[in-house]
Structure 1
Amino acid sequence: MIQELTQKLKLNALYIAFIEQETQPAYSELPFEKRVQMLLEAEELDRDNKKIQRLLKQAKLHEKGASINEINFTADRNLDKGVILDLAGGAYLKYFRNIILTGPTGAGKSYIAQAYANKAITLGYSALYLRVPRLMQHLQAIRGDEEYLKYLTRLKRINLIILDDFGVSPLKAVEARDLLEIVEDRTNNGSLIITSQLPIKDWHGYLHNATIADAILDRIVHNAYKIEIEGASQRKKNAQKMMK
């Protein structure tokens, strides 16, 4: 009967914990209230773990194992460890602020962005990794279709969006307008992490139209933590280590 009820109420983890209590004599020595608490905690933990797995799948991260703890803080990278770790606490998400990571190819911008996404997911936030060139291709394919508005609505619901490879190729006027739609939807609603080889001072020209550029930069840059990464390519360093 208990098994049927827990299945009906979708309390499977609670039932498994209950069976463990029934088969382990040590539990009988605990107060009833404590045993009930432990059953409920087992169910809560199981649901939290399932939520994290669901959010990780949705995020489509390339660096699934990216971790703040694995970031290289050698002096040549010019990374402020205090700032990096403070941002990992997730307050920027609570206040809908952005993070901008700039630096040369291979500097580790994407890794850090995805490490933040992984951390955000453990805090219960949804995330999504997007490469800007692929995003623009997708929006072009669905533009003028009902799917276009549906897709923008889905993006709006996500707490954290990573826009990787921002500035790799010039944006067309219509693509800049698409980007403005996404950025506008996130104002006071969600956060962005943007990675770019382009210094922020060059973004205005990249965004094609001066009016649209002003609108986008006003919403992104003035509300962002800016991290400029220096040093040699981390990919090259890692490849050299693998060859030794």
Structure 2
Amino acid sequence: MNINATFEKLHTMRLNGFAQAYRELTENALEKNFSLDELIAHLIEAEYENRYNKKLKRLITQARFKQQASFEQINFHQPRGMDKNMLLRLQQGDWIKKSKDLIITGPTGVGKSFIACALGFQACSQELKTIYYTANKLLDRMTLAKADGSYFEFMDKLAKTKLLIIDDFGLKQIDHKQCNMLLDLVDERHGSSSTIITSQLPVKAWFDCFKEPTIADAILDRLTNGSYRIELQGESMRKFRKEQ
């Protein structure tokens, strides 16, 4: 059997993980003592892992997270009003599969964005398409899409995104046109996708962020009813890190 020809065929079929595992097995044939079933399982697992890692890398790149974040990095010793059990349940991702939303509020620096990004990375690891935007950049991007004719294409992309992270909501007031666009987005995603919203403002103050009261009611009704809530408190974690 021509082993090099086999390698070439595997790469041609884009079975790169399979090919790498097969090469390692042939180079260490005397050290391995696999049964046929074990050999096949080993090769399939190598190919699966290779494809998974490529997809994960692609999902993380497309998400454009603000920062790298993981649950292992979250400091539960600082008293910030976090419910560790709730966060661990959210980490499992069932709430995303059920198309529930999550609202994270609290003063600046307490870790809202970090927790949102950690949940986003976790969603990517579960092969769920995720996109991160600050609220201001999302509104600007929708406004630009409306102007250049790509609005429906952009909205369709967001509608098909399983987890949308909207960071720093409420830093500026939302004008009439943006209110309508945000309602379009919320309507498209409601009940079929999940959204994480972080804000320095408590939810009860969100209404004042909208210049169009009627649309504000419709948007907030969809976003807040039945959503999970994390209300962080305390001093900035940036100050805590500087003191260490």
- 1:5-64 CA deviation, whole Å, 9 max, x = no partner? 21221101111111111111122x221121011011000000000000000000101212
Q: Which amino acid aligns with 1:20?
A: E
**Structure 1 residue 75: deviation in Å?**
5.4
2:194 alignment counterpart = 191
Q: Which amino acid aligns with 2:155?
A: L
1:44 alignment counterpart = 48
Q: CA separation in 2, counterparts of 1:115 and 1:4?
A: 39
Q: CA separation in 2, counterparts of 1:210 and 1:126?
A: 32
| Mapping for residues 92-131 of structure 1, pairs under 5 Å | 92-131=95-134
1:142 alignment counterpart = 145
The answer to whether the aligner puts 1:26 opposite 2:31 as a matched pair is yes
Q: CA separation in 2, counterparts of 1:75 and 1:18?
A: 49
What secondary structure sits across from 1:177 in the alignment?
Answer: helix
What secondary structure sits across from 2:225 in the alignment?
Answer: helix
- 1:177-217 CA deviation, whole Å, 9 max, x = no partner? 11111111111221100000110011122122222111111
The answer to whether the aligner puts 1:62 opposite 2:70 as a matched pair is no
The percentage of counterpart residues that share the same residue type is: 35
Q: Which amino acid aligns with 2:23?
A: I
1:218 alignment counterpart = 221
Aligned length: 239
List alignment gaps of at least 5 residues for structure 2.
none
Root-mean-square deviation (Å): 1.2
Q: CA separation in 2, counterparts of 1:46 and 1:182?
A: 35
Select which of 80, 83, 93 maps to 1:77.
80
- Relative to the length of structure 1, the TM-score reads 0.94
Select which of 46, 57, 61 maps to 1:53.
57
Q: CA separation in 1, counterparts of 2:23 and 2:72?
A: 37
1:4 alignment counterpart = 8
Q: Which amino acid aligns with 2:89?
A: D
1:227 alignment counterpart = 230
- Relative to the length of structure 2, the TM-score reads 0.94
List alignment gaps of at least 5 residues for structure 1.
none
1:154 alignment counterpart = 157
